[in-house]
Amino acid sequence: MKILVINAGSSSMKYQLIDMTDESTLAKGNCERIGIDGHFKHTTSDGRSCEYDVQMNNHTEAFMQIKNALTDEKVGVIKELSEVSAIGHRIVQGGSIFKESCLVTDKVIEDIESLIPLAPLHNAAHVQGIRACIDVFGKEVPEVVVFDTAFHSTMPETAYMYAVPYEYYEKYAVRRYGFHGTSHRYVSARCAELMGKDIKDLKIITCHLGNGSSITAIDGGKVVDTSMGLTPLDGIMMGTRTGCLDPSVVTFIMEKSGLTPSEMDTLLNKKSGFLGISGISSDDRDVCAAAAEGNKRAQLAIDMLEYHILKYIGSYVAVLGGVDAIVFTAGIGENQSSHRENVCHKLGYIGVEIDDEVNAKAIRGVEGKISTENSKVDVFVIPTNEEIVIARDTMALVTK
Ligand code: ADP
C-alpha cells in the first residue's frame, strides 16, 4: 500500500509518498510560494530529482504538480495515480473535538473549519489542502486527518486550564492544547521500544527542539503536560517566538510602543526568541557560530534556551514524580550536542549522566542512547518522523 502524506501550509505544500510494505519513502517534495510566484521541488529515494519555478495559483494547482511529478517518466515513482491508496493530512489544531486521527468526511471538514479561529493560518490552509486533494484524486481515494494536538488530549484539566475567568474557556475554548503531538508520540513510542519496555510503565520527557520547540511530560504513554499552549507561542524560547513570559509584558510593550494587537502578535511570534535576543538570526547554527566568536547577545540567547529547557525538564520531573527517560528530537535536539550536554550536566541531581563522546557523535540522523550505563535516567537522541505516524494512522484507518 502506498500512502501520500500531505502537510499543507497557506503558501506551501510538503508531500511524501510512503510505501507501507517497508515504510520507505519513495519520493518527497514541496510546492512553495503557492499563490505567489511558485516553486516546485521533488526528489526520489533513488536520487532522481527536479526543481523549477511554476505558477501555482492555488492548492489544486499545487496538487497537479505533485501528481505530474509522481507519475512522470523521468522522476516518477508510480505509473498511475491509482497506485496511491490513501492520503494522510497533517492538521495543526484539532481543538477539543479531535482526540485521535479519523477519516475525512464532510462533517470532519466542517469541524476543522470551525477550529480556524484557534489556528487561523494553519487550519484554513489544511482545509484548502483537503479540498484540493479531493479535486485532484477524487472522493474515492480515502483521506485521513492526523492532528498535532490529539496526543495532548489526555492532559488533565489542571494542566490545560488557564486561570482566566472560566467564561473564556466556555465561550472561546481558551485553554492549553499543545502542539508537535505527532512528534512527541513518535519519539516516546520509539523510546519505549529502544528501552525494551512497555510505554505504560514509563515516565518520559520528550524535548522537540526545532525552529518551534515544545517539551512534553508523558506518563504511561499519556501526555500529562506540555509546554505549548493555546497557540504554539508558549513554553521555551524558540527561533523567533518568545516562549513563556509574564502576560503583562504584552500590555506594557503595547502601551509604551503604541502597537496594535496584530503588530504585537508579529513581535511575539516573528521578532522574538533567538532572533530578538541575539539580533543575528533565528537559526541556532548562526547564533552558536556568533557566540563562538565572542558575541555576548548570541551567548545570552544560547544560555537562555538551555536554561528554559532545564527549567521545563525540572518542572516535568516534579509533575511526573520522577523520570525514566529524556528524549531529544527535531533540528536542534537531533543536531546540537552542546545544548544536550550543557542541559544534561545540570541534571546530575536526578541521576542523569551522559557520555559526552557518544553525545557529540549523535548528530545528523543518528538514533541512540547518550546516557551512560550508570545513569539513573536514560537519555536518547531520536530523529523524529511525523510522516510515518501520519502514514501508519492512515493505513490503520483505511484498512479497518
Ligand atoms: P522546524 O521547527 O521548522 O521544523 P527544525 O526541526 O528543522 O525546524 O529545526 C530548525 C533548527 O534546527 C534551526 O535552529 C537549526 O539551526 C537547527 N538545525 C537543523 N539542522 C542542524 C544541523 N545539522 N546542525 C545543527 N543545527 C541544526
For the record, the C-alpha cell of 283 comes out as 537559526
> Is 335 a pocket residue for ligand 1 (Cβ < 6 Å)?
yes
**pTM summary value:** 0.95
Averaged pLDDT score across all residues of the chain? 96
* Ligand 1 atom closest to Cα of residue 274: 14
Q: Where along the chain do its domains lie?
A: 2-147, 197-386
Pairing assessment for the beta strands 378-381 and 49-53 based on DSSP bridges: unpaired
- pLDDT tens per residue across span 122-145: 899 999 999 999 999 999 999 999
Position 119 confidence tier, pLDDT thresholds 50, 70, 90: confident
CATH of 197-386, one of 3.30.420.40, 3.40.50.10860, 3.40.50.300, 3.30.70.580: 3.30.420.40
- pLDDT tens per residue across span 144-176: 999 999 999 999 999 999 999 999 999 999 999
CA of 340 to the centre of ligand 1 (A): 14
SS (H, E, C) 260-290: CHHHHHHHHHHCCHHHHHHCCCCCHHHHHHH
Position 120 confidence tier, pLDDT thresholds 50, 70, 90: confident
Strand order in the sheet with 325-329: 222-226, 213-219, 203-209, 325-329, 378-381, 368-369
> Thinking of the domain 2-147, which architecture would CATH place it in?
2-Layer Sandwich (3.30)
283 is catalytic: no
Cα–Cα distance measured from residue 386 to residue 74, given in angstroms and rounded to the nearest whole number: 28
For the record, the C-alpha cell of 254 comes out as 503595547
Cα–Cα distance measured from residue 93 to residue 87, given in angstroms and rounded to the nearest whole number: 18
Q: Average pLDDT of 82-111?
A: 97
- pLDDT tens per residue across span 271-294: 999 999 999 999 999 999 999 999
Strand (E) or helix (H) holding 18: strand 13-19
Asked if the domains 2-147 and 197-386 are classified in one and the same CATH topology, the answer is yes
Q: Is the dihedral of CA 333, 339, 343, 344 positive or negative?
A: positive
Please enumerate in sequence order all residues whose Cβ is within 8 A of that of 118, keeping only pairs 6 or more positions apart, or say none: 93, 95, 173, 177, 230, 231
CA of 138 to the centre of ligand 1 (A): 36
Identify the residue whose C-alpha is closest to ligand 1 atom 22: 335
Position 10 confidence tier, pLDDT thresholds 50, 70, 90: confident
Residue at grid coordinates 473535538: 97
- pLDDT tens per residue across span 182-239: 999 999 999 999 999 999 999 999 999 999 999 999 999 999 999 999 999 999 999 9
Q: Residue 121 pLDDT more than 90? A: no
Distance between first and last Cα of the chain: 14
